[in-house]
Amino acid sequence: MSAYTETDLVTTIGQLAGADLSDLTQAQLDGIDQFHGGGAEAVDRLIPSLDLSAGMTLLDVGSGLGGPARQIARTTGCDVLGVDLTEAYVEAATALTSVARLGARVQFLHSDIARLQRSGFDAALSMHVQMNVDDKSAFFGEIAKRLRRGACLAVFEVCRASEDALPLPLPWSIDGTDSFLAAPSDLLGVIEDSGFTALEWVDETPWVLQWFDDLGSRLAAAETEASLPALLADGPTRMINFAVALADGTFTVHRGAFRLAD
Ligand SMILES: C[S@@+](CC[C@H](N)C(=O)[O-])C[C@H]1O[C@@H](n2cnc3c(N)ncnc32)[C@H](O)[C@@H]1O
């Protein structure tokens, strides 16, 4: 059973917000379109390792609603292509990008990374995606094939630190069938074996936990009913289960910075 079943997200966001999308503030949008623990702060922590500047190209693999892609384009001036398996997310990402007037530099494609025809990107990003991917070696191999030599890769990924039963439902899996969590050292090994040299591999769980602790007050301060937990089927339960599993040591969130061989 897929975890990503939502449809017509733009209409839902508008109904929840009771406002036109263009009236939402950046803080309100950050609570809607960043589909990972750590929100916009996580993206800020990844940006330096991507080594991007205006005119360079970024591939965002599993781009979701496009919050990270737009944030990086705004911050660095680069061009971004996001690819995602879920058509409704690609439609929402494209609409939100048009409202943000970033459509000339940020585009989204409904595709599995394995079918993407473009290559030669200067950098790649993947946030909270590989836990849906069984064959991680093929996944990171497909990313490597689409980058130029010496390109940067940044990941922000959920790992499994214990073999305890999964606390379902989770943001990326309703019934466990599409969850393929790896131990941090195993995930690092797969990425390195795909041709990438690790520059950083950091356990970011402590501050992500704090971010979850602050989520309620942040959503209250945003003064809108529109939020990621409200958009997702059973969203609040899925978020709480994720946060509890981070707190009790079942999961970690790891940030990785890598460079493809020259
Ligand atoms: C939890 S969401 C994260 C979205 C986004 N990276 C973010 O952090 O806001 C995971 C996304 O990965 C996408 N996905 C999973 N496997 C994929 C694959 N092989 N190729 C492209 N997208 C994939 C899903 O459709 C979903 O939108």
Tens digits of residue pLDDT in 201-247: 999 999 999 999 999 899 899 899 999 999 999 999 999 999 999 99
pLDDT per residue as tens digits for the range 153-181: 999 999 999 988 999 999 999 999 999 99
From the number of C-beta atoms within 10 Å of its C-beta (0-12, 13-18, 19+), residue 216 rates as exposed
pLDDT per residue as tens digits for the range 56-71: 999 999 999 999 999 9
Domain boundaries, the chain: 9-260
Going from the Cα of 110 to the center of ligand 1, the distance in angstroms, rounded, reads 11
- Which of 6, 44, 129, 177 has most ligand 1 atoms within 8 Å of CB, for mutation? 129
Task: Give nearest CA residue, ligand 1 atom 7.
Answer: 35
Which atom of ligand 1 is the closest one to the Cα of 33?
9
Return left, alpha or beta for 225; rule: phi > 0 is left, psi -120 to 50 is alpha, else beta: alpha
Please compute the mean of the pLDDT values over residues 132-149 and round it to a whole number.
98
Q: Is the beta carbon of 38 within 6 A of some atom in ligand 1?
A: no
Q: Is the beta carbon of 135 within 6 A of some atom in ligand 1?
A: no
Query: How far apart, in whole angstroms, are the C-alpha atoms of residue 56 and residue 73?
Result: 10
Residue 165's pLDDT is 92
Query: How far apart, in whole angstroms, are the C-alpha atoms of residue 141 and residue 99?
Result: 34
pTM over 0.95: yes
Q: The domain 9-260: what is its CATH number?
A: 3.40.50.150
Going from the Cα of 34 to the center of ligand 1, the distance in angstroms, rounded, reads 11
pLDDT of 1 > 80? The answer is: no
Could you tell me the pLDDT band of residue 19, with boundaries at 50, 70 and 90? Answer: confident
